[in-house]
Amino acid sequence: MGCCTGRCSLICLCALQLLSALERQIFDFLGFQWAPILGNFLHIIVVILGLFGTIQYRPRYIVVYTVWTALWVTWNVFIICFYLEVGGLSKDTDLMTFNISVHRSWWREHGPGCVRRVLPPSAHGAMDDYTYVSVTGCIVDFQYLEVIHSAIQILLSLVGFVYACYVISIFMEEEDTCRNK
């Protein structure tokens, strides 16, 4: 068995997906983005399940991973539409925090090159409102960083879907040949 088999490639891809999801999870925690935190948590669990299924030759676990990748692509397309404000969605709503806080993406104030200045709140503004924070000089706006994160997740998931389907077919083919002997 060579190192460049579909199984080995799927294992490496799952490991890469785990690293990418953990990185995204950290920044979502920093921004108190509860909906993406929950999604990332489920994604991490299912990727670990897919990794386990690939290592242990368990095609049913890989099928769960395959179905999840389709759902994960859908979620990330929604995230892209949310941050690009497609179809009536607005990145300035509290949708990602389940409407329980006014937090936004961590990248909004801490993106590459961003200079953050706290301004005195206006007389009619609330103290916990983010309108008194001024951010200037960002190299890349935060919504594009979020879109890039989601696009990377989509790319990894689509490649993972293809490899998972291939590995499932290989496992089923091996199972059929074992039964025929």
pLDDT in tens, 133-148: 777 788 888 889 989 9
Higher pLDDT, 34 or 161: 161
Task: Report angle CA 39, 44, 47 to the nearest 5 degrees.
Answer: 120
Give percent of the chain with pLDDT exceeding 90: 48
Q: pLDDT category, 128, cuts 50, 70, 90?
A: low
Higher pLDDT, 178 or 166: 166
Which tokens is 84 given?
A: 């690009």
Q: pLDDT category, 1, cuts 50, 70, 90?
A: very low
The predicted-structure confidence for 43-53, as pLDDT tens digits, reads as follows 999 999 999 99
Can you tell me the distance from the alpha carbon of 71 to that of 89, in angstroms, rounded to the nearest whole number? 20
For 59-63, what is the mean pLDDT?
A: 95
The predicted-structure confidence for 79-119, as pLDDT tens digits, reads as follows 999 889 888 877 777 767 666 666 677 777 778 888 878 77
The predicted-structure confidence for 9-32, as pLDDT tens digits, reads as follows 999 999 999 999 999 999 888 887
Can you tell me the distance from the alpha carbon of 37 to that of 136, in angstroms, rounded to the nearest whole number? 27
For 33-44, what is the mean pLDDT?
A: 91
Q: Are 76 and 161 in contact (CB under 8 A)?
A: no
Can you tell me the distance from the alpha carbon of 103 to that of 17, in angstroms, rounded to the nearest whole number? 26
Give the predicted TM-score (pTM) of the model: 0.83
pLDDT at 35: 85
pLDDT at 60: 94
**Mean pLDDT of the chain, nearest integer:** 84
Can you tell me the distance from the alpha carbon of 126 to that of 116, in angstroms, rounded to the nearest whole number? 19
Which tokens is 87 given?
A: 């179809």
